[in-house]
């Protein structure tokens, strides 16, 4: 009878369920993590798992200590062998980065791979944080960080409304004069430009397209925005102003060539509010 009563006791059953969930939660917490994008690395760190990151991709440079963490490759080409060599128990990757072949190899090696979707909007930033937190086995921490991030974004957007300027901004991606692209719709740059109170001067196309003098003059931006490394690769403002067509634009005439931290601009996660605020002050 005692055994039957023991099995039927709601308190005992509840205790067993609680203990089972607790053990499962701890078992799900990864010990060796690889992150394959800057936003993923920053979010894992902000969630308190930075010390468990054993390797990152080449775009991960923030926080500063991440620069001392090993890279899975010397460029953006990721291989299964490179990942497996670090013996991770969790790999976080953005959409469309890991091929089906590599996914199969990681699965065969017993390595958990979680693909994280990123949408370039305030709601997307919150969803991104939640996805990462769930993959780390700590959704509660994700809710806390998401709430904090959303509050910072709301504050930044409120500041934008109080500081309306609406300049036409052309984002120019460069790695030296030989590789230059312009950002159109459906890009993180288009989204951050609009969120910060400006207009994207590049119209009529999505994603990126090659930069041309004709398209620059036609767009006639008030501001040319660049990543800091791209700005430096072209030799700084004096060299950029000498590029064909630049002085025919409002941006060139007023010397409005701006540079900004690329990782911050494209974060769309825990530092989105900071990116919106900083960019808005530059207009």
187 in a structural domain: yes
Residue range 116-146, pLDDT digits in tens: 999 999 999 999 999 999 999 999 999 999 9
Give yes or no: residues 102 and 189 share one domain.
no
State pTM to two decimals: 0.86
**CA distances (Å), 139 to each of 131, 145, 181, 265, in order?**
8, 10, 38, 26
**Alpha carbon distance 51, 39 (integer Å):** 16
**Are both 184 and 90 inside the same structural domain?**
no
Hey, what are 98's tokens? 């890991």
Q: Mean per-residue pLDDT for 43-50? A: 98
Answer yes or no: do 267 and 168 share one domain.
Answer: yes
Mark whether 56 and 115 lie in a shared domain.
yes
- Answer yes or no: do 117 and 196 share one domain: no
Residue 177 and residue 277 in one domain? yes
CA distance 202 to 83: 38
For position 87, which CATH number holds? 3.40.50.1980
Are both 117 and 176 inside the same structural domain? Answer: no
> Which tens digit of pLDDT belongs to each residue from 58-104?
999 999 999 999 999 888 789 999 999 999 999 999 999 999 999 99
Same domain, 276 and 239: yes
Residue at 14 is within a domain: no
How many angstroms separate the Cα of 82 from the Cα of each of 41, 66, 70, 72? 18, 18, 11, 6
The number of folded domains in the chain is 2
Q: Is residue 115 part of a domain?
A: yes
Give the residue from 115, 145, 175 where a domain finishes. 145
Q: State whether 118 and 52 are in the same domain.
A: yes
98/186 same-domain check: no
Element (H, E) at 250: helix 250-253
Contact 142, 133 (CB under 8 A): yes
Both 42 and 97 in one domain: the answer is yes
* Domain-embedded: residue 47: yes
Q: How far is CA 48 from CA 133, 141, 151, in A?
A: 10, 9, 19
* Cα gap 180→20, rounded to integer Å: 55
Smallest Cα–Cα separation from 50: which of 7, 92, 85? Answer: 92
The C-alpha torsion from 169 through 173 and 174 to 179, rounded to 10°, is: -120
Say how far residue 198 (Cα) sits from the centre of its chain.
Answer: 21
Domain end (from 145, 177, 212): 145
pLDDT per residue as tens digits for the range 175-226: 887 789 999 999 999 999 999 999 999 999 999 999 999 999 999 999 999 9
Average pLDDT along the chain = 91
Q: Has residue 76 been placed in a domain? A: yes
Is 8 inside any structural domain? no
On whether the CB atoms of residues 130 and 143 are closer than 8 A, the answer is yes
**What is the residue range of 273's domain?**
164-282
Task: Find the mean pLDDT for residues 278-283.
Answer: 94
25 within some domain:
no
Last residue of a domain, one of 84, 115, 145: 145
In a domain, 96, yes or no: yes
Are both 119 and 228 inside the same structural domain?
A: no
89 phi, psi to nearest 5 deg:
-105, -5
CA 29-35-39 angle, to 5 degrees, is 110
């Amino acid at each position: 009878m005692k055994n039957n009563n023991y099995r039927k006791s709601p308190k005992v059953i509840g205790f067993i369920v609680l203990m089972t969930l607790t053990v499962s939660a701890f078992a799900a917490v990864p010990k060796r993590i690889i992150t394959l994008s800057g936003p993923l690395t920053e979010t894992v760190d902000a969630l308190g798992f930075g010390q468990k990151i054993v390797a990152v991709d080449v775009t991960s440079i923030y926080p500063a200590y991440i620069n001392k963490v090993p890279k899975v490759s010397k460029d953006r080409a990721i291989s299964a062998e490179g990942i497996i060599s670090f013996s991770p128990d969790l790999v976080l990757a953005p959409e469309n980065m890991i091929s089906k072949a590599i996914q199969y190899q990681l699965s065969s090696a017993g390595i958990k791979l979680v693909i994280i979707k990123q949408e370039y909007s305030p709601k997307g930033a919150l969803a991104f944080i939640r996805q990462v937190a769930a993959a780390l086995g700590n959704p509660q921490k994700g809710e806390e960080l998401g709430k904090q991030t959303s509050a910072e974004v709301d504050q930044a957007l409120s500041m934008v409304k109080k500081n309306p300027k609406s300049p036409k901004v052309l984002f120019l991606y460069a790695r030296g004069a030989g590789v230059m692209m312009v950002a159109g719709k459906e890009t993180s740059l288009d989204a951050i430009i609009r969120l910060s109170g400006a207009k994207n001067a590049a119209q009529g196309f999505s994603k990126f397209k090659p930069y041309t003098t004709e398209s620059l003059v036609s767009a006639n931006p008030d501001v040319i925005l660049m990543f800091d490394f791209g700005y430096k690769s072209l030799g700084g403002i004096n060299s950029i102003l000498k590029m064909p067509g630049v002085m025919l634009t409002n941006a060139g005439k007023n010397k409005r060539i701006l540079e900004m931290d690329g990782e911050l601009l494209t974060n769309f996660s825990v530092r989105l509010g900071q990116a919106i605020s900083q960019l808005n002050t530059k207009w």
